[in-house]
Each structure stands twice: as C-alpha cells, then as structure tokens.
Structure 1
C-alpha cells in the first residue's frame, strides 16, 4: 500500500511539468513590466536582465533555455542577470526562493498518509 502512495506522490509532483512555464516578458522597459507569456518547450528559465548606466535603467525579461545569474560592472554602471524556474517568478529583478504551496501541501498530505498507514 505504501508503494501506491509513493507512486501517487511522484505522479502528482510531475503533473506541473506538462504545462509550459510562464514568464513575464518585455524588452528595454525603463520600469518593471508585467506581460505574461507561455514559454513553450524552449523556456526552462525566466530570465531578467537589469541594466543601469549613467543614471538610466533598463529591464529586459524573457524565456530562456539556460540562465546564469550574476552581476557585471561596466565601469559606468552594472548589468544584473536574475534566473528562476517557476511560473511568473520574474515579477521583479530580485532573486529569492519561490515555493509551490499546492505541491508542498500535497507532499505533506501524502507523507502523513504514508506515516499513518505504516503505523497500522
């Protein structure tokens, strides 16, 4: 019976991978933008690049097949790259941990069922 619960848990956690990642996208906006886009198969990451040079700021957001976060100093400004992998996670240029609360709740529920059935 426990094997069935483990199989159901694994299947439930994999369900979200069939839906394409959604990211906010825009090119060259001076302020934060909130235009959602389905990334399809090519988008594994939501990437945000924030440039700051001579007091001007630009924000570029897009779906990316790969992403390397970091900061580059240009001498007169900076280029900052932020990466994330959950739906609409690039709402701002800030990095941070993103949680899927339904997946966490489902996992906790299955864990409790497993513990209860093994105690019987």
Structure 2
C-alpha cells in the first residue's frame, strides 16, 4: 500500500510528526487513502476528514511503519501504544487526536 505524506521516511514519519515513536499511518475513511497524519491529509486533499464510524472498527485501517503490519481500528485502540505484531512503541500522544480519525460514539 502507498502511504502519503510530507517528507515521509521509511517508517511513515512525516514533517509534522517525526519522533522515534511516530510510526503509525492511518487509512482515512473519507477517501480510503493512507496518510502518515491528519495534517498531511489536510494539506493534500480537498475534502474534510471523516472519522471511521464505530460500526466499522473491525476494518483494517492502521499500519505499523516499523513492520508494515496492518490492524483494525479496535486492535489499534486496544494495543496499549505498541504494535501487536513487532511490539514497536507507538506515540501515546496520538490518543489526543483519536477523535479526528475515529468516531468515539456508538453507531
């Protein structure tokens, strides 16, 4: 799959988020494209971000940039900030943006 973003490295870090733990890319519900972050999406697309509905949290929409493992939204949200496949650490600060990517309400 192709991950899009600004100044991406091989582990999906971008110009906006580039610490050692910024290795998660998201498949955006609104367009089906993979981006390294919401800011990269906003800078590249002409449509607004639509979060994944909770009824589709079983869909694979999250990528570990370290091992390229894809996981469902539910698996990512319950992964305790680590890849369930390779155990690489994910940025716990990403939870501050969860509502941008995922609808946290039922329905």
Using the size of structure 2 for normalisation, the TM-score is: 0.29
> Which of the two has greater strand per residue?
1
> Which of the two has greater helix per residue?
1
Using the size of structure 1 for normalisation, the TM-score is: 0.27
